[in-house]
Structure 1
């Protein structure tokens, strides 16, 4: 297990020492402050870099002929048709209409 100082760790991560110090101080990079100096473990820095690797993508599985499985969804719709029923325009107008209330009259009594 090899330890690195701030300059060595910055060179390892291809960062400026000041940027690495800011990230270490914020806890974004694994580090410890021993006395007045920052201390980094090389294995921890390598794991930190590995955390930025993108997740491997799974290739699409292409099937031909009999291997393809039919859709068993009960809500599946064939192309060109629709199972939605639309209410008539008057019903939509009634649903979208804002309720109106009569304005209160300002009345005073003497």
Structure 2
């Protein structure tokens, strides 16, 4: 029986072993109190190469609108830590907050047709 032992030299295979509290500088909650798990964020067109790999992963995932809960699920991080990490990226200007549903629908006829269809159900 053989065991694979990590000798600390190959970071790519073993992954980064960074305690979560180090990633968020000991913060336990985001400074932006309006953030929740459904908050949608998107990456801004800035150079993220100076970021830690964990933060770069978040920016890379957010090429399109994504909720904080989705980010946490994709990265396998606890949601509270993910929320704080997103808050840090928002503060530093790497992400923008909002929602793709903020666009106003101006076609009232379409909305009336949807309402009528729902009423028929």
TM-score (normalised: structure 2): 0.20
- Structure with more contact order per residue of length (Cα contacts < 8 Å, sep ≥ 6): 2
Structure with the largest fraction of helix:
2
Which of structures 1 and 2 has the bigger CA Rg? 1
